Structure 1
């Protein structure tokens, strides 16, 4: 038992259970003392908050801060005693590489949950009539699929950024290692609370949580709000840490326009996350308070305004799309020159386009509300600002095409996913303007056309680049290569299946199939296309299983990754062994050239500084 309790994750889960029980007991005692009697919702909400804090205390992520508050000595981050072996991934670590892997593994686990929810309701939709789900459970699965995968993407972005940014900028760790650990561990109990929503009645609002539906949804609605709230807290803290690391921890000679392009994508996405995430937290918190305390923020019958919720929600939730895709587009720009053996065309324009997308992303939220009663005089400005996002996005596409032109292209698995990401994201981009133009959006809004467009954008802008990054940097993490045959099987099965799925979704959307609808009239002719979409969804899932098999198999039996296996110019490949050592760079280096001058004779990006002498 003692050995089991020494595992941080086990202690954290036990702490969350005890904290939840304490919160429920405290609220019950308070209401009893006030003569109000038992009520499940306030007890469950307080229990959820206490449970998260109980997890954080038990896992040990606030121990050092508590010692500091009491005036006790705490060790420096570099002197933190790491748990040896694989057990360190189940407890608190201050190593950014360990935290990055913790984020990514958690993201993949949530992706499996979110995908399984989709397979369940897609099986229901394969034919008309209700087969095995109730309407309530169908709606819950649809909402959970959306939000669980959104949280999965946020954690995946955080994982890639945590692992790669210090390596790419030449830092030994993140700017605030303890805050880094806290940002990850608060997402774990938050995700558990979110998943618990399905066990306590679920909800029927979809992933947006719109009132007035969310005001009268079951108890699961509150767990949904609390879970997202704590994951948003994780996102804000992680963004703050990444911005500080990028601005203050770069190697000597690495000016802003010598940074790897992935770092530009992370910087842009961190600006969005740090400044806008509060708005979705606030919108959900206000509904939570309205349900608990009767505050009529969004109840039109009592002077509230439900449209206000949509303004608050979408002010974050549309820029959140760029939180998801900007690092992914950065990965495409990062890997493309490596496998084309040419400089990245228009580097400075590509770097600034990430900031341009981030800034214009704050001006487009209203196009989600064209059918919601938004004032007529706001429709045209939001339409134009939405279309304006295509300009900085187009800069990236022109850069990719120009970089590919007449290059010596190689096609290992990471490059296949890069090219797949470009094609799928282009499809998502081309199907975006109809949703941002008033006349067409009035017809397409809340149809499966939007579902197809959104999945193209997320897969092209995040999922394909994520898989490219996994295949590219897995050898740096483990010291072993992934199997190319399994990787190509993954790509060539997933890509056509995914395209069939989203093109089918857009087809039935244009024919009038509404999203979040559990049944449809067979006379409408949706049945055959729904069956194709369902089969394609299962094939996409099967393809991802090949990735999981590859990850597990290659960790033990993969070919050893010796040296700079990709012939990359970036410092983590040019300088470090695989896997990377604990504190990254034992010797400092300086940047002496441009990061993407592939194919140019005698061009060098980094060089090691002289080793300090013992006399120094």
Structure 2
């Protein structure tokens, strides 16, 4: 159905100005009531999940901080025997890993999951069960991973896990495996969250909230989510290759058998350097949201700051070799990366100057958020200055792997992310129970954290310039580092005391009785509208970038149900899907309710990976089967025919329920997932090309490629399968659809078997040469897709036979068809890459 607008809602007339039905609010509240007691595990709304996410991330921050204090205590005096070398290596590795993977990335996604639904004026983001799955996978897996410390199984190869030291020869135990498998599914959790954020930001904004009116924080999270989609697949590919080397003896990184340890560095830092900006840009978005409120004036240079966010995104992917200046790369490559490393300071500076100009133009009150934002700008600018220093090749060659880099890293990450996060906690914590944290205690906490941080980390610049290397667990007294290390340790404990003071005040505040939230900071963004479990009573019509400042009375109108969707049209959870650019109402999006299935799926996923690591194979596979069954059950009920086909969302507007094809949010979520998929595959292709370029002769004399007839037959079968799936899409509602789905499944399975047979005849030996191992990795990845399609084909057939596929309920079919065609394309690209690269090497 086409959207029908009876009159222009931008003219100033309220969308729902007629008297409201007496039972409308009660019917709205019913589907949004949150389960209590032990059933809170079934909650899927993003507000609840966001709070759990934030609390868990802060727990990991505290745990990592304790590990950092243990390290600083060990280094406080020379020749200390508090920790052994092995224990120190485990604590050092876990400190970095937990801070980077279990705190820094999750906390920025957690705050976004909590804030964005209300900030965008939506009832919820479009995939709440996906958010719940992402959270529980992260929480269960992360806590189990941290507990490896108590059993001597914690990884000890550094948070960067460089081979060959993390290979089986030098790390024969399970320590490295826990890092590889644990971090792998935690990153998958982060990608699931990124898909939710991208689709939510583009499709569930309030009517009238065009991209030009969208909050800067939402812009920052959109940019960051896109960065996650392109950066995180590289680390997933890298950890997969290293685990395959350890488990199957495929020598990707063993130089004696044709591998290359530098390949790991390329894959790791292609993720690792964008990760720095993935951490910083959400903080920058929060700063751009808080500073106008603190100054009481709109953000200066708003458009320039948004453009700067996008530019930083592009620059960040050109900088991964910034961490590899001493790895022996070519002079041209290093010079290019050095120039890009300095150039990225320009868009960052645009944001800093915009913030300063906003503060200059307004009238600042020195509240707790203002203090932490001031500390952030001081510390981050210093970190940026040392960043320009290490971008210079001659200086980096001298400072690399010294404590100067440790100081720079902490000034950028703690200054650029931790201080803005604490400012955000002080600023947004009233949204939970309407209570603000103590301003008096906040000043003590800030000065202890700010002073302690600088006392702890500023001396490390000097320690590094005096030659103290990173990652050493002790040092002799004659080196002259004693006093500086002692000062750094004292500063670390002062910093920790400030964090503890904040924690005590937070617990005290959250134990107070709940009261109305109001708008304590006189902010301009929509999250300060009155909200309940269902979000706002009605979804507001937005007319500017600062709606609470520019639309007087908006809060009262929304609370009175005078804007869009003041009730429930279907009796369930709903929100309005809007057009991605203009923010025009497009269709009514019916959201799933609370369920045990995301929790069971997440617990099963975490249990499968972790138990497989410790060789509890039967229990691990039981967890894996539970994860698959619960996921299938979850999907089985998600694409259903709705009881209504259209809904009146205001006095003047009728919308269709749901959408099909490219207008659907689920179609775009599938596209984003396939982009992630393709980026992982591209990382495997890069590994194949990298290893091939190191050979004198490609293929090597002891290896060969299969005869061309096998990939041609396999490609023809893949094309036939895609053809059958195209026919199935056009046969929706007809009896032949399930048979076409099964035929497509047979084609894709037969294709892989033919491909595999061709490589077996060619004598592919992944354990002998890294070159063969990279081909084996590509084939394994294609095989994974074939297994997924072998499940998806019968699943489609079962849905068709049960009557769950129809012209009005076809998202499962359309999205599976996308995956099918992608697998066909991937198989063809695999064959072309494997056969063409050796020709180019001649």
User: How many residues align structurally?
Assistant: 534
Shift of residue 607, structure 1, vs aligned partner = 6.8
Give the whole-Å Cα distance in 1 for the aligned partners of 2:316 and 2:553.
37
Give the whole-Å Cα distance in 2 for the aligned partners of 1:369 and 1:606.
56
Shift of residue 209, structure 1, vs aligned partner = 0.3
Matched position secondary structure for 2:111: helix
- 1:288 pairs with 229, 240, 243, which one? 243
Q: Is the 8 A contact 2:156 2:175 kept in 1?
A: no
TM-score between both structures, scaled by the size of structure 2: 0.61
Q: Is the 8 A contact 1:328 1:466 kept in 2?
A: yes
- 1:254 pairs with 184, 189, 209, which one? 209
- 1:393 pairs with 348, 358, 361, which one? 348
Give the whole-Å Cα distance in 2 for the aligned partners of 1:408 and 1:443.
45
Query: Quick check: 1:205 aligned with 2:205?
Result: no
Q: Counterpart of 1:131?
A: 81
Report the CA distance shift for 1:371/1:558 in structure 2 as closer, same or farther (over 3 A). Answer: farther
Output one character per residue of 1:270-290: Cα deviation in whole Å (capped at 9) or x when no partner: 111112111112111211111
Q: Counterpart of 1:583?
A: 534
Shift of residue 446, structure 1, vs aligned partner = 1.1
Give the whole-Å Cα distance in 2 for the aligned partners of 1:495 and 1:401.
20
Give the whole-Å Cα distance in 1 for the aligned partners of 2:319 and 2:308.
17
Q: Counterpart of 2:490?
A: 535
Output aligned runs, 1:595-606, within 5 Å. Answer: 595=546
Shift of residue 173, structure 1, vs aligned partner = 0.5
Q: Counterpart of 1:475?
A: 430
Shift of residue 204, structure 1, vs aligned partner = 3.2
Give the whole-Å Cα distance in 2 for the aligned partners of 1:331 and 1:173.
20
Q: Counterpart of 2:108?
A: 157
Query: Quick check: 1:82 aligned with 2:82?
Result: no
Q: Is the 8 A contact 2:32 2:533 kept in 1?
A: no
Give the whole-Å Cα distance in 1 for the aligned partners of 2:187 and 2:470.
26
Output one character per residue of 1:402-455: Cα deviation in whole Å (capped at 9) or x when no partner: 111142111111111111111111111111012221111001111111111111
- 2:468 pairs with 510, 513, 521, which one? 513
Give the whole-Å Cα distance in 1 for the aligned partners of 2:310 and 2:652.
45
Report the CA distance shift for 1:98/1:605 in structure 2 as closer, same or farther (over 3 A). Answer: closer
Report the CA distance shift for 1:242/1:562 in structure 2 as closer, same or farther (over 3 A). Answer: closer
Query: Quick check: 1:187 aligned with 2:145?
Result: no
Give the whole-Å Cα distance in 1 for the aligned partners of 2:653 and 2:193.
40
Report the CA distance shift for 1:615/1:506 in structure 2 as closer, same or farther (over 3 A). Answer: closer
- 1:372 pairs with 327, 340, 362, which one? 327
Shift of residue 557, structure 1, vs aligned partner = 3.1
Report the CA distance shift for 1:421/1:607 in structure 2 as closer, same or farther (over 3 A). Answer: farther
Aligned alpha-carbon RMSD (Å): 2.4
Q: Counterpart of 1:592?
A: 543
Give the whole-Å Cα distance in 2 for the aligned partners of 1:310 and 1:77.
52
Q: Is the 8 A contact 2:108 2:282 kept in 1?
A: yes
Unaligned runs of 5+ in 2: 1-27, 567-649, 655-842
TM-score between both structures, scaled by the size of structure 1: 0.83
Give the whole-Å Cα distance in 2 for the aligned partners of 1:326 and 1:77.
36
Output aligned runs, 1:290-309, within 5 Å. Answer: 290-309=245-264
Shift of residue 79, structure 1, vs aligned partner = 3.8
If you compute each CA radius of gyration, which structure gives the higher value, 1 or 2? 2
Q: Is the 8 A contact 1:196 1:223 kept in 2?
A: no
Give the whole-Å Cα distance in 2 for the aligned partners of 1:351 and 1:605.
27
Shift of residue 190, structure 1, vs aligned partner = 2.1
Shift of residue 560, structure 1, vs aligned partner = 4.5
Q: Is the 8 A contact 1:590 1:606 kept in 2?
A: no
Q: Counterpart of 1:221?
A: 176
Give the whole-Å Cα distance in 2 for the aligned partners of 1:223 and 1:129.
31
Shift of residue 602, structure 1, vs aligned partner = 7.7
Query: Quick check: 1:174 aligned with 2:125?
Result: yes
- Higher relative contact order at CA 8 Å, sep ≥6: structure 1 or structure 2? 2
Give the whole-Å Cα distance in 1 for the aligned partners of 2:441 and 2:555.
33
Give the whole-Å Cα distance in 1 for the aligned partners of 2:120 and 2:548.
17
Q: Is the 8 A contact 1:493 1:540 kept in 2?
A: yes
Q: Is the 8 A contact 2:433 2:514 kept in 1?
A: no
Structure 1 residue runs of 4+, over 4 Å off? 558-562, 600-616
Shift of residue 559, structure 1, vs aligned partner = 8.8
Matched position secondary structure for 2:541: strand
Query: Quick check: 1:111 aligned with 2:61?
Result: yes
Report the CA distance shift for 1:260/1:295 in structure 2 as closer, same or farther (over 3 A). Answer: same
Report the CA distance shift for 1:605/1:345 in structure 2 as closer, same or farther (over 3 A). Answer: farther
Q: Is the 8 A contact 1:299 1:305 kept in 2?
A: yes
Shift of residue 193, structure 1, vs aligned partner = 3.8
Report the CA distance shift for 1:397/1:558 in structure 2 as closer, same or farther (over 3 A). Answer: farther
Shift of residue 480, structure 1, vs aligned partner = 1.5
Shift of residue 203, structure 1, vs aligned partner = 3.6
Q: Is the 8 A contact 1:136 1:203 kept in 2?
A: no
Report the CA distance shift for 1:590/1:607 in structure 2 as closer, same or farther (over 3 A). Answer: farther
Unaligned runs of 5+ in 1: 1-75
